A and B are shown apart, each in its own frame.
Chain A
C-alpha cells in the first residue's frame, strides 16, 4: 500500500510541474544555458565514483554537436561529400540501429575498434565547417568571429574567451581556468608548427575538435 501511495504522490508532483500556470520562459540560446560551476563544489576534492555508470551518447551525440556548433545536423559531416556520416556511414559503429536494411535491431554491446576514429571524423568535419563559416562571415559568427581579421594567431588574451566559448557551446558549462588555459596553451604548438599556412584557423579547428571528441562530450 505504501508503494502505491508513493507512486500517487509522485504522479501528483509531476502533474503539478506539468500544469504549472507560470508562462514559459523564452527559449534561451545554447550559449546561455551553460552552467557556471559552483565555487564551493569545485573546491571539493574529486572522488572517483565506484559505480561509474556511464553511457555512450551514441547517435544523440550528433544532436548535441549540431546544437553546440549551431549547424544543421545533416551538415555536420558528409563522407565523400555525399553520405551522412552519423545517420548512414558510421551509424552502427556509433551505437545506432537499422533493422530494415541491415537487420541490426540492437546497438552493438561494445563500441567497435573503429568507433573512436568515426567519432573523430565527425567532430573534425563539424569543427571545420563551423570555423570556416565563422571566418567567412564574422558578422554572423557563432564562436570564432574574432579570428576572421587576424593575420596570425592572436595573443593569449584574445584566445581565452574563444576557449571559454567552446566549453560553453559544446559541453554546456563554463570552463575552469585550467581548462580554458589548456586550449590557449595549444596556440604555442600551432605557432611552432612550420607546416601550417593558417594558424588561427588550425587552432580554432583543433581546439574545437579536442573538446567535441572529449569523453565528456561523448558520454553522459
Chain B
C-alpha cells in the first residue's frame, strides 16, 4: 500500500466516521426526519404502567429479600449473613426481610431503625426476585444496562419500550423524575418517536410551573391576547427574521418549533399546572394570589408522603402518582439522589465525633438520605443497605397505596396495571471481616432484582442464593426452576419485565424469560 493510497483511505475513513458520527448524533437527538419505529396498533388504549425506582449505588439483594441466616452457612462470620432472629419470612414465601437497629449510619452519628418485615409481609404475594449476573461494576454503565438489558433491544430503555407500547397520545409518556443517572439516560434507538424519550424533571415541587406559560405570572395579559402574541411571534416575527429563514433547516429550530406549538398545546390544554401542583398555599407559595391551585388530590397525597417538602424522593413519588393518575405518563423513573439530606429541624445539630467517638447522635428519622445513597455502603455496608432498603420500601408502599385507591376502570385500580422495578447498578461484595457487625463493601456483578406488581408471579424467586458464598444463581427462563449452574442475564430480565408489561417484543430477538410474568 503506497503512502498516497494510505492517505486517501484515511481521509475516506475519517470522512465516513465524521458522517456517521454526525448522523448518530442527529439520530440520537431524534431529529432525522420521521421516526421509523412502528407505533404498535392500539398503543395507549390498554396501558400498563412502569415505575422504575433507581437504587443508585447498588442495592444488595442479600441485604433484603434474599437475606441469608447465619445458621444456613458454615462460616457465617466471614460472609454477609444475619443472626437468625433478625430475618423474617412470611409463611410459605421464599422472600425474606431483615429488621435492624443501628446507632450510626456508616460513619455518620445518626440512629437508624430499618424495618423490612412489615413491607414483605404486606406485599410478598406481588413480589418477585429474579437473580442475575451483571456485566459491569461501573455505576453509570451498570445503571444503564439495568434499563437496557445491556442494549438488548437496539439500545431502547425499558421506559422507552413502555412509552412506545402504551404512551401514544399522552402528553409526556415517559418522565424522568431523577436526573444525572444511567437509569435516565436516553436510549440509542433513534427510530423511536420523540415522545417516547424521557422528559427530565429536576424538582417535582416546582416543575409543574413549566406546564403553562401564563398561569401564575402576576400581571400577565389575558390568555386570548397572549395566544395572539404567540401567533405574532410564530407567524410574523420569526417568519420575517433573516436568521430564522437562513437556518430554517436546523434540526434544533425545527424541534423548538414543535415543542412550542403541538407539544405545548397538548400540555397546556390539560391544565396540568393545576392537576400536578404539589405546593400548598403558604408563605413560600402564595398560590391564591397568583391564580394557582394545588392538585385536587393534594390532601391525600400529602398524607401518604408527608415529607415531600423536605425529601425529594417523596416529592418524586407524589408527582409520579399524579402523572399516572391524570393520564400524563405511562412510565416514571424516580430514585434517591447522591446528596446528604437532613431534616431541616436538625440543621445546626451538634454532632458527635465522626467514627463513633461519643457525643450526641441524630435521632431516628433525622437523616433522610445518606450521601451517595446505596453506594455509601463503601463506608458502612450493613447500616446503609438497611437504611436504603427501608427508604425504598416506604416510598414504594406509598405509591402502591395511592395507585390502589384510584380506579382505572372496569373494576381495576391503577395498581392492578402497574409494575415497580427496583433497578440497581449492580450488587455488593458478599464477604466481611471476621465477625464484623459493620463493614465496607465494594461492587459485585452478582445480584438479584426485585419487582413488585400484580402483573408478575408473586412469592417467587427466579433462581436462588448459595448460603455458603452469598452468590446468586439462575433458573430455567421458562419454568423458573432453580438451576445452580446457570446465571440469568441482563437481557433475560429485561425481556421478562417487558413481557409482564404487555410490550410486544415480536422481532426484537429478546430471549424468553416467561418465568416472570403472571399468566
A interface, CB within 8 angstroms of B: 42, 46-50, 52-56, 79-83, 88-93, 98-105, 108-118, 120-121, 124-125, 128, 132, 176, 178-179, 182-183, 185-186, 189-190, 193, 195-196, 202, 205-207, 209-211, 213-216, 218-219
Task: Assess whether B179 is in contact with A103, with CB atoms less than 8 Å apart.
Answer: yes
Q: List 17 A-B contacts (CB under 8 A).
A: A46-B242, A48-B246, A52-B253, A54-B247, A54-B253, A56-B252, A81-B218, A81-B290, A103-B337, A109-B28, A109-B29, A114-B259, A125-B217, A186-B228, A196-B225, A202-B222, A211-B233
Docked CA distance A75–B263 (Å):
29
Residues of B within 8 A of A56 (CB): 252, 256
A117 lies within 8 A of B210 (CB): yes
Task: Kindly provide the distance from the CB of B209 to the nearest chain A CB, expressed in whole angstroms.
Answer: 5
Contact A186 B259 (CB under 8 A): no
A117 engages B233 (CB within 8 Å): no
Tell me whether A49 and B246 are in contact in the complex, defined as CB-CB below 8 angstroms, given that A117-B211, A179-B241 are known contacts: yes
Interface size on B, residues (CB 8 A): 75
A52 near B248 (CB under 8 angstroms)? yes
B172: nearest residue on chain A (CB-CB)? A113
> What string of 1s and 0s marks CB contacts (under 8 Å) between B362-390 and chain A?
00000000000000000000000000000
B201-239 near A? 1/0 per residue, CB < 8 Å: 011001101111110111111101110111011001110
Known: A111-B256, A114-B210, A190-B225. A92 touches B247 (CB 8 A): no
A105 proximity list for chain B (CB < 8 A) = 180
Query: In the complex, how many angstroms separate the beta carbon of A167 from the nearest chain B beta carbon?
Result: 9
Smallest CB separation, A217 vs chain B (Å):
9
Question: With A and B bound together, what is the CA distance between A47 and B242 in angstroms?
Answer: 10
Give complex CA distance A110, B28 in Å: 9
A90 (CB) vs chain B CBs: closest residue: B210
A41 to chain B: closest residue by CB = B242
Distance in angstroms between the alpha carbons of A176 and B243 in the assembled complex: 13
Q: Are B224 and A193 in contact (CB under 8 A)?
A: yes
Known: A124-B214, A128-B219. 15 other contacts (CB 8 A): A49-B249, A81-B218, A89-B203, A93-B210, A113-B199, A113-B263, A113-B267, A114-B211, A116-B259, A118-B210, A179-B241, A214-B241, A215-B243, A216-B241, A219-B256
A80 near B180 with CB under 8 A, answer no
- CB contacts (< 8 Å) of A102 on chain B: these are 179-180, 202, 337
Contacts of A101 in B (CB 8 A): 337, 339
- One of B151-159, B278-286, B507-515 contacting the partner: B278-286
A206 to B223, CA, bound (A): 11
CB distance from A33 to the nearest CB of B (A): 17
CB pair B212 A48 closer than 8 Å: no
A125: B residues at CB distance < 8 A = 217
